[in-house]
Amino acid sequence: MCQVDEEYNGQLEHRVTPRVSKKCVKCKENTAVLIIRAGDAFCRGCFKEYFIHKFRAMLGKNRVIFPGEKVLLAVSGGPASSSMLSQVQEGLSRDAPKKLRFVPGIIYIDEGGASGQSMEERERAVAQLESVFRATNYHYHIVHLEQVLSLPSSVLEAGSSATEKPQTGSSYKAAVDQFIQTKKNQHPDFSVENAQSHLSSLSMQKVENGVTSPITPEHTQALQRLFASVRTLTAKEDLLYTLRQHLILHTARTQGYTKVMMGDSCSRLAIKLLSNISLGRGASLATDTGFSDPRYGDVVIVRPMRDYSSKEIAYYNRMFDIPSVFIPGLDTKAQDKASIQHLTESFVTKLQTDFPSTVSTIYRTSEKLHTACPPQNTNTQPFAKCLLCVCALDTKLEEFSAYQATLISEQLSQRRGPGPGFTRGTEAAPGLPPVSSASQGQCCSSGGGQHQGCMTGEGGCCSSAKEPETVDLKSLLCYSCRLTIKDMTAEDALPQYILSEAERRKRRSQMREEISEFLLDEEEDEAIPRVNGSL
Amino acid sequence: MAAPIAIHLEFGGGAELLFGSVKEHHVTLPNQSEPWDMKQLLVWIRGNMLKERPELFVQGDTVRPGILVLINDADWELMGELEYELQDKDNVVFISTLHGG
């Protein structure tokens, strides 16, 4: 059943429609032009209504965007995010009482430095996108990926949520009613105010829009060095995703946006779900693929396009002339098996052609995953979060966890040969239990993965008393981020903010250990960071 | 008996990369006895237009999964997919949905 070239002659027979044109299933009058899902044929007008309605229903069902809020739209130029941009425009422009009410801004991240594009190509793409953005009259920010090298380390801290509003329907409705009231009261001056705010926003546009700082070739080279030090495409894509998220988060925080809208479509999220499981991110599936992602605290990531399949989006863009720019990425024209993400994508798309309900089944499964409520005290220790992806650390060393088992099997299968780091001279037999390996030097403890870090890092690390950076990073990361870092040959190529934040957390945990006996015996969750810090 | 047919081809969503980054092509399919259908068109495209990596566009008899085909702005599933017979001045669009957004 799952073979590549299997013939389904019997079934295909009845899928091929005869020359008689089908009628739209909704209005039953016009000729259908598109089939979505498993067999519903829609005509052009009904499809447009359906498409627009879905977007607003998605926002209305999950009442997370309050009126007047500043929302940052993350547009990559691709079809889904361009479609999202047009839906936002559509939703904000209506005069109906149910129109969307928030203040949008746009961010575009130019990743050409990482995917090896030339400056001219990047500038061309940016120019094309800028013309699209200008037509929308919203603030826009063009950020180059190189700017990730100069981010402050505060970006890795989860902020506290700005408002403690309980997310009940009544408070949302109250907020909306209040908003409408204030608008009505201002009505006589409304047009003047509107014009004024429009003018001020236009003038601000000159300052805020465009490139915030020019990019020097050194920056691009540093970025390329970072990506060149990552061996596998899987890890590169993962790292790129993480850095992109950090940049978007930083921009949102500095410009005062409280929500970020990402353009992940249903198909893309289904692929992401499966590839995340393969990457070891199973613990954070709900936040990675759910509608709202609260992991950053003060900025919430929202995915309003998660109900649209890529076919619907592509068709809508074509039919209603939504401009989108194709920008080649890291995995363009890559082989099928080049990375886990790419392989999952081809698997799901192939399965989808023969079994059209694949993507929606995966999507429905992901809908059933719910984010656990964040703990009430919002100054949860930062040790409890992964350094890179800011999701909860899942590597607490319980006695008999699956994670422990992977560590042990890793040690058992590593061959410990002599090398520059192993000045003790003893050749460790592969079957050594972790306890005695600790005697060979601090940086060789816990996990054979350190093995490579010691070899390629500073030469005399084992003999020096100072603990090398490699240990710090790994203990602060969740399982899948560890795998990504493990694939890097030169961890010092990581941007400064990551390394300095890692150092800070390490110092903090050391300090906490030192004063642990003086700390009052509190609730249990004090014990948890100590376990993590002592790794 | 079929006269040479003029077809307007468009490529989008990244598929144009395989065709020298040119999105629009006007082609004339040569004379042949049976009418041209989509299956033959694909074979013709593969032989005459694809500059590189044919497996990224065509898979076996049909297009690669993930490529949306529109014939005169209608889903090709409604027109018979591979069995559809091409008429003169038809507009066929291939959109790759594989690069997300």
The string of DSSP codes covering A167-211 is --HHHHHHHHHHHHHHHHHTHHHHHHHHHHHHHHHHHHHHHHSSB
CA distances from A84 to A360, A421, A429, B40, B98 (A): 20, 52, 57, 37, 17
CA A269-A386-A437 angle, to 5 degrees, is 120
Number of domains in chain B: 1
Task: Closest CB to B78: pick one of A41, A82, A84.
Answer: A41
**CB-side neighbour CA atoms (13 Å) of A398:** 6
Secondary structure in 3-state letters for A397-463: CCCCCHHHHHHHHHHHHCCCCCCCCCCCCCCCCCCCCHHHHHHHCHHHCCCCHHHHHHHHCCCCCCC
B interface toward A at CB cutoff 8 Å?
Answer: 12-14, 16-17, 53, 56, 60, 65-66, 68, 70, 73-75, 77-81, 83, 93, 95, 97-101
Tell whether B13 is covered by a domain: yes
Query: Nearest CA to CA, how far is B14 from chain A (Å)?
Result: 6
Residue B24 counted as domain residue:
yes
Instruction: State which residues form the domain around B42.
Output: 5-96
Interface touch B75/A319, C-beta < 8 Å? no
Q: How many residues does chain B have?
A: 101
Count of A-B CB contacts under 8 Å? 101
| Token pair listed for A99 | 């129109």
Nearest-CA distance B54 → chain A (Å):
11
Asked whether this complex has an ipTM greater than 0.85, the answer is yes
Percent of chain B at pLDDT above 90? 15
B101: in domain: no
Residue count of chain A = 535
pLDDT in tens, chain A (535 residues): 666 665 555 444 444 444 456 788 888 888 888 888 777 888 888 999 999 889 888 888 888 888 888 999 999 888 999 999 999 988 888 765 567 788 899 999 998 888 888 888 889 999 999 999 999 889 999 999 988 888 887 777 766 654 444 444 566 777 777 777 777 776 544 444 444 444 444 434 433 454 455 678 888 888 888 888 988 999 999 999 999 999 999 999 999 999 999 998 998 999 999 999 999 888 888 888 888 888 888 889 999 998 898 889 999 999 998 988 888 888 888 888 889 999 999 999 999 888 888 888 988 888 888 766 554 444 445 457 888 888 877 666 566 677 777 778 888 888 654 444 444 434 334 433 444 333 333 343 444 444 444 344 343 334 444 444 445 677 788 888 888 888 888 888 888 888 888 888 888 888 888 888 887 765 555 455 555 555 4
Tokens of A315: 């068709």
Residue B38, domain member (yes or no): yes
Residue A344 main-chain phi, psi, to 5 deg: -60, -40
- Which of A289, A294, A266 shows the shortest CA–CA distance to A277? A289
Which pLDDT does position A131 carry in this prediction? 92
Q: Is residue B84 part of a domain?
A: yes
Strand, coil or helix: A381: coil
**Would the CB atoms of A315 and B53 count as touching at under 8 Å?**
no
Find the CATH number of the domain harbouring B9: 3.10.20.30
CB distance B101–A345 less than 8 Å?
no
- Write down the pLDDT at residue A427: 38
Q: Which of A303, A315, A296 has the alpha carbon at shortest distance from A366? A: A303
Residues 6+ apart with CB under 8 A from A47: A33, A34, A36, A315, A316, A319
DSSP state of A359: H
Strands B5-12 and A300-302: unpaired
**pLDDT value, residue A399:** 60
Let me know if residue B90 belongs to a domain: yes
**Interchain proximity B68–A314, CB inside 8 Å:** yes
Q: How far apart are CA A144 and CA A149, in angstroms?
A: 10
The number of CA neighbours under 13 Å toward the Cβ of A197 is: 8
Residue B51 included in any domain:
yes
A502: CB partners within 8 A, 6+ apart: A387, A469, A472, A473, A476
Q: Which residue has the higher pLDDT, B96 or A191?
A: B96
Q: Point out the residue among A18, A34, A353 whose CB comes nearest to the CB of B75.
A: A34
For residue A22, the chain B residue with the least C-alpha distance is B78
